[in-house]
Amino acid sequence: MAEHNELGKLGEEMAADYLRKQEYEILETNWVFQKAEVDIIAKKGDVLAIIEVKTRSTLDFGSPQDFVKPKKIQLLVKAVNEYITQNDLDVEVRFDIIAIYKNKGLFETEHLENAFFYF
pTM, rounded to two decimals: 0.86
Above pLDDT 90, what percent of the chain?
Answer: 57
Q: Which range (15-24, 65-74, 86-95) has the least confidence?
A: 65-74
- Mean pLDDT (whole number) for 44-52: 95
Domain boundaries, the chain: 3-112
- Mean pLDDT (whole number) for 46-72: 78
Question: In which band, very low, low, confident or very high, does the pLDDT at 4 lie, cut at 50, 70 and 90?
Answer: low
Label residue 75 left, alpha or beta by phi (over 0 means left) and psi (-120 to 50 means alpha).
alpha
CATH class of 3-112: alpha beta
- Mean pLDDT (whole number) for 33-38: 93
pLDDT at 119: 46
Secondary structure element (H or E) that encloses residue 38, with its range: strand 36-44
Distance separating alpha carbons of residues 109 and 65, to the nearest angstrom: 12
pLDDT at 62: 64
